[in-house]
Amino acid sequence: MTTSAQSARTAIVTGASSGLGVEIACALGGLGWRVAVGARRVERLDDTAARVEEAGGHAFAHPLDVSDSSSIDAFFDASVATFGTPDVVVNNAGMSMPGLLEEHTPEALAYEVAVNLTGPMLVARRAIARLREEGRRGDLVFITSDAVTKPRPQQSPYTATKSGLEGLARALSMELEGSGIRSTIVRPGRAFSEYAAAWDHAKIAELIPYWRRYGLQRHTGVMAGAAVARAVVLAVTTPPGVHLDTIEVQPEAPTNA
C-alpha cells in the first residue's frame, strides 16, 4: 500500500547493498517514499534502487562508507540535493568479524567501532541538525542486535559497539524530547543476510556449539529480513504522539511438525 504524495516522506538507509538494508529500503519504497540508499558496494546499489522503484518508491543511490566522515558528508549532501532533507534515517550499516579480543588487530577494532558506532553518530548528527534548523518532525532508527542483551563471546567488539549504539539512541531520545524527532531502537535476532558472508565456515562450525555453552543459539530458527523491515516501518509510521522506544524482533523456533 502506498501513501498519497502529500504524506510521502524522505528516507536514508545505510548499508543498503544487501540483506536487511535492501529489505528496509524496499519496505519504505512500498510506502511511496523517496529513499536514498548508500553502501560501499556501489555495484549493488543500482539493484537496490531498482527494487525500491518497483515497490512504488523513488530511489537515489550514492556511494557511502560510514567509517569515513567525508564519505558520510558527500552522501548526505548528495541525497539532500536530490530529495531534500531526510525525515527518516535508518542507521543499518554494521559488521563483525568473530574471534577472541586478543586476536583482533588495533586497526580491525578501530574499523568495527567506526562502522558500528561512530558512523551512525555522524549520520544522525547531520540529519538532526537539518531537522532542527527547519523545525521538522523526523525519525531516527538504529538497527542494533540481540547481542546487547545476550552478549556473545568471540564477538566482544560487536557486542560492545551495538551496546554503545543503543546507549546513543537512548541519550538522543532525551536530547530530542519535545522536538518531534523520535529515536528508536530495532533490535533483531538471527535473520537471513550477508552479515557473516566473510566468516570462515570452520569458524562458524566452531562457534555454534561454543555459544550454546552460554545459553545462546538455542535453536536453528532464522527469520526473513522482511520481518525486521516491518518493524522499521511500524516505528516510523506510528502517528505523532507515540514513541516505540525499542522493538526486538526474534525468529520463532522451528515447529516440531
Which residues are catalytic, by number?
A: 158
Contact 155, 98 (CB under 8 A): yes
Q: Round to whole Å and give the CA distance between 228 and 69.
A: 27
**For residue 214, with 0-12 CB atoms within 10 Å meaning exposed, 13-18 middle and 19 or more buried, which class applies?**
exposed
> Where are the alpha helices (H) located in the chain, listed in sequence order?
19-29, 42-54, 69-83, 106-113, 119-134, 156-175, 201-212, 225-237
Residue 72: φ, ψ to 5°: -60, -45
Distance separating alpha carbons of residues 4 and 2, to the nearest angstrom:
7
Q: Are strands 246-249 and 88-91 parallel, antiparallel or unpaired?
A: unpaired
Calpha distance 139→160 (Å, rounded)? 24
* Cell numbers for 16: 543498503
**C-alpha radius of gyration, the chain, whole number:** 18
Whole-Å CA distances, 142 to 54, 93, 170, 199: 25, 9, 10, 24
Burial of 182 (0-12, 13-18, 19+ CB in 10 A): buried
> 246: which strand partners?
185
